[in-house]
Amino acid sequence: MIKRCIFLFIVTTVSFFVRANDNTYNDSTINAGLKLPKGFVAIKAANSIGQARHIAITSNGIVYVKSAKAINGKATYVLKDVDGNGNLSIVSSFDNKGGTGVAIKGGYLYTSTNNDIYRYKLNKNNEIVDTNAAEKIVEGLINRGEHNTKSIVLDNVGNIYVNIGAYSNSCQEKDRVRGSKGMSPCPILDSAGGIWMFKADKLHQTYKDGIRYATGLRNIVGLDWNQQTNSLFVMQHGRDQLFQNWPQYFDSVQGAELPAECMYELHKGSNCGWPYIYYNHLIHKKIVAPEYGGDGKIEGGKEYQEPLMVFPGHLAPNALLFYTGNQFPDKYKNGAFIAFHGSWNRAPLPQAGYMVAFVPFKNGKPLGEWEVFADGFSGKEVVTSTRGAAHRPCGLAQGPDGSLYVTDDSKGTIYKISFTGN
C-alpha cells in the first residue's frame, strides 16, 4: 500500500512537472501558438484537413476546404461547427482531384484543380445537392508544374476569374539557368502569366471562350473581389533568384529582399510588367529585369501598373481577403488580410513569412503601411529551411460571425481567430 502511494505520488508529481514544463517552454496551448494583437484569440478549429489550400464559408457557417492532394481519394472537405464551440468537424469529404481554388457564389460551390474549374449546385441550406454532379465549367488550362495552381474568385455579374501562373521564373530561354536571356516578347504571356475571365455558368469553356483580363503577372495565388471598389485585387509572387542567377548585379542580401511581393488592383487590360520588370520596394521603382538587359539599377516599364502595397521579397502571399465583418475593431473594416505561405528563396539568409499581414484601407485605397497581424505559424524563431516551418498559412475566409479562418497546407490545420477585447 505504502509502496503504491509513493508510486502514485511520484507519477502525479512527475506528470505535473511535465505539464508545467510544457506550458513554460512551449505556449502552443495559448492562442494555438500564434502571436496576435491585443484582444484577439485563436484556436486550432481543425487539424489534418489534407493539405488545406483555399477555404470558403457560407453565410450559415458551412466550411468548404480544397486540399492540394486527395487524401484517401478525397480533396474537398465540408466542415461544420457542430457543437457551437468553435471546433470544426468533418461533415463529409469527396472529389478525388487535388487543387487550390474554392469559392461560393449565387447558389454554387466552385472548385479548381490545377487544370480545370468545376461547380456544384447548393441547396437552400448551402449544402451540395449531389457531390457526383460536378459541372466542368472551364477545362484545359495550362499546367506545366511550375506555378500551376489555379486560384478563383467571382464578381457580382456572373464572371469567374482564374489565375494562370507562368510556367517560368522570368521567361528565360532556359528557365532558372544562370545568365540565360529573357525571350522577347515573352511567349508564355499568350496562355499564362495573367488572370483570365470566364462565364461562371457556361459549361466546358476553354481558352477561346475566356478573355485574358490582366497580364504581366508571374503568379497569383491570393486574390479577392473587393466589394467596396467592385474590382479585383491580387497579390503577385515576385520572381526568384536575382542573386543566384545574376551574381554580377546582386548580392545575397539583395537577392533575399528583392523583388517586392506586390498588391495590384486590376481592371480589364491591366499589365503589371512581368517578366520585363520587377519592383524594388526599397527605392520604390520599377527596375528592368536582368534577363531583359537590366543591371539592378536601370529603371523601366513606365507603361506598367504601379503596385498599391509592397512587401519584402519571397514571402509568398497565398491568400487575400477583404474584411467585411463587424466582429473586429473598426480599423479592420474593409481592410486586407494577406496570408504569407513563407519563403524558400531567401537563403543563405533565414527564411521569412509564415504569417498573416494586415493592410488598413479607406475608400478602397490602402491607408498607411502593412503590419503583421498573426505570427508564429512556423513555431520557430528562425526558419533556416522551409520544411522546418510547422505550419504554412495558405487560405483565408471570414466566418458568419466575423471570425477569420486561416488554413495551413503543411499539416492541414485550420485556425479560427476571433476578437474578444480581453
Binding region for another protein (CB under 8 A) out of 101-109, 119-127, 146-154, 358-366: 146-154
143 vs 398 by CB, closer to another protein: 143
In order, the DSSP letters of 29-79 are GGGGG-B--TTEEEEEEE---SSEEEEEE-TT--EEEEEEEEETTEEEEEE
Min separation Cβ 261 and another protein, Å = 17
* Residues from 373 through 412 that contact another protein (CB under 8 A): 384-388, 392, 410
57 vs 383 by CB, closer to another protein: 383
Our finding on whether 344 is near another protein (CB under 8 A) is yes
Work out the number of other CB atoms within 10 angstroms of the CB of residue 331. 13
Buried b (16+ CB within 10 A) or exposed e, 353-367: bbbbbbbbbeebebe
Measured torsion, CA atoms of residues 289, 290, 291, 294, in degrees rounded to the nearest 10: 80
197 vs 347 by CB, closer to another protein: 347
Min separation Cβ 216 and another protein, Å = 20
Amino acid at 93: S
Min separation Cβ 146 and another protein, Å = 5
* Residues from 33 through 52 that contact another protein (CB under 8 A): 51
Binding region for another protein (CB under 8 A) out of 102-110, 133-141, 339-347, 393-401: 339-347
Min separation Cβ 233 and another protein, Å = 25
Our finding on whether 97 is near another protein (CB under 8 A) is no
Work out the number of other CB atoms within 10 angstroms of the CB of residue 285. 15
Cis omega (within 30 of 0) for bond into 393? no
Kindly tell me the number of DSSP H helices and DSSP E strands found in the chain: 3, 29
Closest to 80 in 3D by CA, of 399, 417, 422, 407: 399
* Residues from 161 through 190 that contact another protein (CB under 8 A): 168-169, 174-178
Distance of CA 299 to the CA centre of its chain: 30
Binding mask 67-86 for another protein (x = CB under 8 A): -x------------------
Binding region for another protein (CB under 8 A) out of 226-234, 257-265, 273-281, 343-351: 343-351
List of residues 6+ apart from 124 with CB closer than 8 A: none
Min separation Cβ 241 and another protein, Å = 7
Beta strands 220-226 and 231-236, pairing class: antiparallel
Binding test (CB under 8 A) with another protein, winner from 241, 270, 334, 378: 241
Amino acid at 189: L
Binding test (CB under 8 A) with another protein, winner from 87, 191, 231, 244: 244
Burial category of 417 from C-beta neighbours within 10 Å (exposed 0-12, middle 13-18, buried 19 and up): buried
Interface size with another protein, residues (CB under 8 A)? 28
Our finding on whether 8 is near another protein (CB under 8 A) is no
Footprint of another protein (CB under 8 A): 51, 68, 144-148, 168-169, 174-178, 240-241, 244, 344-345, 347-348, 384-388, 392, 410
